[in-house]
Structure 1
């Protein structure tokens, strides 16, 4: 039969597809892309390990140990393949303590039953993710952490799921977060601020190099490891230019009503319902910090460190993270964020009017370089320091003498006083209930999850093979 006798295929008309069809097409593309990307990466890594082994075996120094090395490498590869086939599940871990609770889930300190290693296990409830339309957030965090292998970012080891929850197994950073240190010490010297700011610069640079914008840089998301060095966490609001994550979150916040709108008065004034934050009123500052920390775990969020362009339906890029760093440097040196107010709506309005609301108190002595750096970061996008790359930040006078390549070899200003590998004294766990919370479910029978509890999370599973597994 002649090929020309076949009827031509029907014309494709994607514009006629429904919303669900377009969404499923996009999800299938992402799942297939992720599957083959991981497969190719693993094949290349195994090939590189084989080449490295063959190179070592050619050395005369290992002539008598060739069979031993070859056999040992074969066992390691077998363990690697077994690791890929092993199914992760909640029963593989024993809970030590709950160390954090959020609006959509919780974080527990767990120990792996098989080898006794300690991790932080983040649990997110599927029904909450679906009902609150948070699927883009969980996908963004999973993608960012899976692609990162930086020493400045909390390491994600594996993700798995059951019928009601999503799980992210991450490294445990026992030093708590930067907000806890700010609550304890209230204010930092310029040297200590310079140290933490330099490490945060390295962390932001690492995620920018992967093509991600964090969009939620704040002290609560800056964790401290066992040595007191920082690790960037919580990528739930991150955005990749290669994937279409939701960006309407901040615009919704700005539009939320407030009962205090009638009292705003002149929006160009620095006293827009401001808190009376002064050096002589540190008790009020810490009380504000504690209430702000509670807000961080609510559905409202914390707006104090958000760049103004995120509130508008306009383009933005990597420079929004440098605005957030500028606000953190200000808080470390002054004692409170530059746009702090008693309610989120007033903070939003102070941020969008930053030209008139940013000021430095007279009773806090700051160097010229620190003030200049803050003003260059808390600035319009077209003039913000960092818009042309991280080098212009590292070369600023505030960081004179800092070697950004050796920071993790320097002793940190605050080393957590830990007594064991499961010490949680740096976390505010006293007020957290330690009982197991039942996961809310829309699935009905847990043995037969409905499609809406399964389909949105296809491709969520991730496994990172570490040398420690061998």
Structure 2
């Protein structure tokens, strides 16, 4: 083959010396050490996360600037007010930039009380030492996340809470991490959860049920508008704020069909870490009760409370298409709403059984097992609404959006646009901002478990966790800081 100097005109090209231009070297990572390859992976992930966050922050800042300019253009704004708006905006932006450069850590917070604990970690009521602000801090053990294939779940929860701006979803303020734990700092909702309300009152009237189901519709709709399916709607995950209104939490099983929410992504990222086959029993509770005995129902609820923060899922409210793996969609969350409404009116979930396998069988065979007790009279509209939710996906109300549910006769007269301004049926009575009376803290060991959890995380580690690829690579990009609330 002949080589020419192509920069010269065609009639002046001269024959080039063969071999003058060396071929492009092939990429051969095998010739580098394992440590070099690991560093390359980390740098690549960190660069991707950095530029992605930078672009997103620039977009958000432009939106805030546009909103500020819109306010300044309003005709009734005086020059003095305009100057004040500019001054306040500049101060907030500067504070936020300084906040982004500040590394958060658990030592910045004082623990008031542990309000939940499980095999993955714990949830604590904490107070920021610098300003006294009260939060709920969720701590997750990194090694447990890795060993139990929970990487996709924890990332999914972080992403949806970081994206959500809805009053129907628990607010996430910031996420941070160290070598051992992932931390999520969220708003503290002192009203407890719907499970606690059911344990206290056993059943609700149709009017009270209508209120909570209407708020749940708006909460689930807010999640769906973000492009996520919750997949774990249950009374434990329906929290109540200081006014008794609903907020959804615990998005660990949610999916937004994002590659970061798929376990296979992390298997490929870590190379050689295979996903263990999921045991069917891991999504089914161990339940022991006879549904005809109401005291046993509350015993079952007490046992449910013990696993609220554990790795074991709760099948009673999960749609059959999720359990069988036959495909699911946004309507799967509406099935869960139907089972919760049934429990509110009847006193127990529609498919509870003697054991975990029985619960699963009753759900997948719902056509034969769904029944309404003769001694409990439900209004025809309430029963019809439940049956429209607990049915085959293709027949389920809500396939065309939440508006279908809002239009059902059961909600006739409900003003969905102003629900949050309506007084809730149950308003929590709180002694202070750190009141935990609506949480079962007396059932939770209050001793400091941080040292034990760190020892558990270190057990069997061949290298220091801060230097371990497995403990750092999957969690790059996890840190999040919300604007306008954190730098107080």
- Fold match by TM threshold 0.5: yes
Equivalent-residue separation in structure 1 for 2:233 and 2:156 (angstroms): 15
Q: Match for residue 93 of structure 2?
A: 77
Q: Match for residue 195 of structure 1?
A: 211
Query: How much does 1:72 deviate?
Result: 3.7
Q: Match for residue 140 of structure 2?
A: 124
Q: Match for residue 46 of structure 1?
A: 61
Q: Match for residue 35 of structure 2?
A: none
- Kept in 1, the 8 Å contact 2:92–2:484? The answer is no
Instruction: Give the match's secondary structure for 1:406.
Output: helix
Instruction: Give the match's secondary structure for 1:405.
Output: helix
1:166 aligns with 2:166: no
Q: TM-score normalized by structure 1?
A: 0.86
TM-superposition CA deviations, 1:316-356 (whole Å, max 9, x none): 11111001000000000000000011322210111111111
Q: Match for residue 400 of structure 1?
A: 412
Taking the TM superposition and a 5 Å limit, the aligned residue runs for 1:306-325 are 306-325=318-337
Instruction: Give the match's secondary structure for 2:209.
Output: helix
CA RMSD of aligned residues (A): 3.3
Q: Match for residue 19 of structure 1?
A: none
1:220 aligns with 2:236: yes
Query: How much does 1:451 deviate?
Result: 1.9
Query: How much does 1:114 deviate?
Result: 1.2
Query: How much does 1:246 deviate?
Result: 4.4
Equivalent-residue separation in structure 1 for 2:90 and 2:256 (angstroms): 38
Taking the TM superposition and a 5 Å limit, the aligned residue runs for 1:26-425 are 35-54=50-69, 61-64=77-80, 67=83, 69-243=85-259, 245-246=261-262, 252-254=278-280, 275-278=289-292, 281-425=293-437
Equivalent-residue separation in structure 2 for 1:257 and 1:215 (angstroms): 12
Equivalent-residue separation in structure 2 for 1:159 and 1:84 (angstroms): 12
Q: TM-score normalized by structure 2?
A: 0.83
Task: Return closer, same or farther for 1:274/1:171 CA change in 2, 3 Å cut-off.
Answer: closer
Task: Return closer, same or farther for 1:332/1:74 CA change in 2, 3 Å cut-off.
Answer: same
Equivalent-residue separation in structure 2 for 1:72 and 1:240 (angstroms): 36
Task: Return closer, same or farther for 1:455/1:373 CA change in 2, 3 Å cut-off.
Answer: same
Query: How much does 1:256 deviate?
Result: 7.5
Instruction: Give the match's secondary structure for 2:110.
Output: strand
TM-superposition CA deviations, 1:424-450 (whole Å, max 9, x none): 000000021111112221446768442
Query: How much does 1:134 deviate?
Result: 1.2
Task: Return closer, same or farther for 1:335/1:163 CA change in 2, 3 Å cut-off.
Answer: same
Equivalent-residue separation in structure 2 for 1:242 and 1:210 (angstroms): 12
Task: Return closer, same or farther for 1:292/1:256 CA change in 2, 3 Å cut-off.
Answer: closer
Query: How much does 1:314 deviate?
Result: 2.6
- Kept in 2, the 8 Å contact 1:109–1:119? The answer is yes
Which entry has the higher C-alpha Rg, 1 or 2?
2
